[in-house]
Each structure stands twice: as structure tokens, then as C-alpha cells.
Amino acid sequence: MRRVAGIDCGTNSIRLLIADIDGDGRLHDVVRRMEVVRLGEGVDDTGRLSAAALERTRAALADYTARIREHGAEAVRMVATSATRDAANAHEFTAMVTSVLGAAPEVISGDEEARLSFTGAAATLPEPAGQRLLVDIGGGSTEFVRGSGSEVLAAISVDVGCVRMTERHLRSDPPAVSEVDAAAADIRAIVDA
């Protein structure tokens, strides 16, 4: 068996998976963690990752790095998604990750994010008779992926996520009807574009 680690840093949360890969290519979880760090807080409005969000992410990543070393992972891959794609100061994030983890993150496209989401889901779900549609709702974007088996047939990523829409439109709890209507109109405009 080979031990590997993967880190997914999204707009809202950062996830760690340390797993053993057996001879058949199946993963066996060793450590699975998720921390809400809200890296994308304010990015839709300012176009920048805030110092506070970078610090929350750094603290979680330092913990993950210690766990990766403790468990002896041979290889590590870290990807970053919507908030980092959108941020003018993504280089600050990359420098921070490189100094903490010892490797640079891959800032992946929405298309790659969609494909990776589908691959991960397809590996854990029973094989359907036909095609399936995966919808991955994140903090900054949502991916729609159609596939058959483990093959991606079509994929699209749209800038509609729970953090992005909440920050743009929702001011009260519960949201006012006018806030929900504004969010729905914004989503329709983004999807129709």
C-alpha cells in the first residue's frame, strides 16, 4: 500500500484526506478532516483574500501538515478553488501554503473542479444503469457534471455558491422575501449568461 494525502481548499472550508491506496487502486481512509475557514469571506465584494481569512486557513493548514507528517504520507496534492481563482492577491495564499506545507497549491479551473468532484463521487457510489448528474454546491461556485461510470461527458462551473450569494443578498435571518427574490434573480442571470 501507498499512503497519500489530499487537501481541498474551497471558499468556505478546507478538507484533508490521508489514505492508503491498495493494489487495486482503492482508497482506505486513515484521516479525514474538514474545517470551516471561510477563505473566501468578502472576496466577491473586494476581489481579495483578507488577512483574517488567510490566517484562519494557515492555522488549519498547519494542523493538517502536522497530521500528514505524523502519518507518513509519501505524496501530497493540494488544490484551491473559487475564492483563490477570483482573488487578486492569490499569490499571498500560494506563498503562505508553500511556507506551511512545503509545496505550492494548484489553483484549479472550474472545469477541473467539476471533473475532480465527479471522479470522487463516482468512486464511492454504486454504478448506475445509465448516466448521472452530479451537482457540487460550494461556497463560491457550483459545478454541474454529467457522466457515465467514471467518465465525464459534460461539465460546467458557475459562480453561484452559498457564501457568494449570502454575502451579496441575505441581510436578515430568516431572509426577507425580497432578499430571496434578489438572490434568485442573480442566480438566473448568472446561469443564463
Domain spans of the chain, in order of start: 2-107, 110-192
Residue 146 CB contacts under 8 Å (≥ 6 apart), including other chains: 131, 132, 133, 134, 152, 153, 154, 155
Domain 2-107 shares a fold with domain 110-192: yes
List the chain pLDDT tens, one digit each, 193 residues: 899 999 999 999 999 999 999 988 888 999 999 999 999 999 999 999 999 999 999 999 999 999 999 999 999 999 999 999 999 999 999 999 999 999 999 999 999 999 999 998 888 888 878 899 999 999 999 999 999 988 999 999 999 999 999 999 999 999 999 999 999 999 999 988 8
- At residue 84, the 3 state secondary structure works out as helix
pLDDT at 132: 92
Fold category of 110-192 in CATH: Nucleotidyltransferase; domain 5 (3.30.420)
pLDDT at 108: 97
Among 3.30.360.10, 3.30.420.40, 3.40.50.170, 3.40.50.11440, name the CATH number for the domain at 2-107: 3.30.420.40
CB atoms within 10 A of CB 157: 25
